[in-house]
Each structure stands twice: as C-alpha cells, then as structure tokens.
Structure 1
Amino acid sequence: MSIETRLTDLGITLPDAPAPAANYVPFARSGNLVFVSGQISQGENGLIKGRLGENMDVAAGAAAARRCGLSLIAQVKAAVGSLDKVARVVKLSGFVNSTGDFTDQPEVINGCSDLMVEVFGDKGRHARAAVSVPALPRGVAVEIEAIFEVE
C-alpha cells in the first residue's frame, strides 16, 4: 500500500509545506538523507501557542506535536516528491515550551512519534530527543525537526 493511500485510509490530510519564516531553507538533502528544519505547532486556525505545565496539558501538547509531524511529512514530500521514497524516519528532535518543573516532554513528543509509526509503519520507528525549553518562536508549544532517509 502506498503512503498516500495509507494517509487517505487514516483520514489524514497533509497541510501545505510551510514556508520558512527567516533566512533558512525548509529542508536540505545530503545524499540519501533529508534534514527537515524545525516545524512549529500550527493548525488550521494558526499557531498553537502555550506552555506545558502552565496553561497547556499533556494531551494538548501531544496534539500540537502531531501537527508538527504533519508539517514534517509535508516537507519531506516537498523534498522528494513522493512519500513512497521515504525509506526510514531516522530521528526526531522535539522541543517543548514548558515550565522548569514539567517532566512529561516524552509524552508530548509522542504525538509526533506515534504519527510517524501510524503513517510509515516500521519505517517510522526512529531515534529521538524530547527536551524542555523556556520559550519557543512566536510562543508556540512545540517545535520538532527530523531526519529522513530516502531512496
């Protein structure tokens, strides 16, 4: 089954690949690796802002991370043309806007990790970092970058 068919079966519609907000490229390819720049949490109604442990709970954070994942997938599709060329999700690095005493960053970033496995199956299993930061651009809740291996 193609990844596009899987997305349809899952009821997932990818957003347009977001344009960079500053002086960088949305992705860079080196050999068979595609490095996707950090994608911030944004939905159909704009940026998903908040701070975990202050005004956002884990479930809302995981939903924000899932939205980052959709943007990551849209970027790799823009980079290689077809999601069927993705051989593996190699690594995710997730940043969670959170208070100093918030310790559930892994559960938040699971929103993106779970999406990768849902969409790519075993090829979606990846290495990962999930870290806390005191602030993210534009006040968003989550930012995630990724490395994909492509054919």
Structure 2
Amino acid sequence: MKLWTMRLEAGDGHAPTKNGLAWGLLVATFIDIAVDGFIIGAGFAAGGETGMILSLGLSVELLFLGLALTSESTKGWRIVAISGALAVTVLVCAVLGNILLSGASNAVIAAALAFSAAALLYLVTEELLIEAHTVEEQPIATLVLFSGFLVFWSIQLSGS
C-alpha cells in the first residue's frame, strides 16, 4: 500500500484532476474508512461497550478526515456526495464486521481487535508522528512505544 501511494505522489496522483477530485486520496481514504468500519463491527461483536468506545474514538478521526478531504476545487454536491459515501462505507463495513464476527470465538474476535490495534498504532507511530517531525526518527522509538503499550496492556489484563 505504501509503495502504491508513493507512486501516486511521485506521479502527482494526489493532485486534483480536471473535475476537482484527487482520486488517489479518495481511494486510500475509502480503504481506510472500510477498515475502520470493520473495526467498529468487531468491537460490537466483542460487546456493546467495546463497540461504543471504538465508535466514539474513530468518529473523531473520521470528522478530521472528512474535513481534510474538502478543498477549494471540490464544492457543493460533490462534498455532500463524498461525505455520504464515506458514511455509507463505514456503516456497511461495520455491519459486515459485526455479522462476520458475531458468531466467532473470543479468540478470533480478540485477534481481529489486536490486528486493528496494531494497524492503528503503526499508523500513528510510523506515518503520522514521523512525518510530524523534521528530525530523523530511529526505529528504536517505535519499539519503545509498542513495548510500553504491551506492558501497560499486560498490567491491565492481569488486574482484571
């Protein structure tokens, strides 16, 4: 996925086309939204409280993602259509995730949630934080962050 997006950026695939849409950005956004919807569905399959927490947390992300998609070249009905399509994508993938995982064992649901947590942590540590800093980051920083997360998660599990 990263190589594909790098090629799009190098070929100026992230720039708006004649009709004002950045198709590379839209495709990547819809893939991200579909995964987020599946994560929400997995949370509701695990239990209502988990699903609600994931829904609230990801809704903040989706709000800023929707704001980031707006541009001066995209106006009016296109913004409404794109926002509506994003909302439908989240809903459909959340329902699909809930249906697929509702009868699954606790181990399968835990694996799906662990995979999604790792994907979200990877996004934050490898993409967003590194791009936010101009200083070259070392891979040890990612290792320390993941290790700290696992330590605190283990403490929480042992206390339950």
Given the two structures, how large is their TM-score scaled by the length of structure 2? 0.32
Greater RCO (CA < 8 Å, at least 6 residues apart): 1
Structure that is richer in helix per residue:
2
- For the pair shown, the structure with the greater C-alpha radius of gyration is 2
Q: Provide the TM-score with structure 1 as the length reference.
A: 0.33
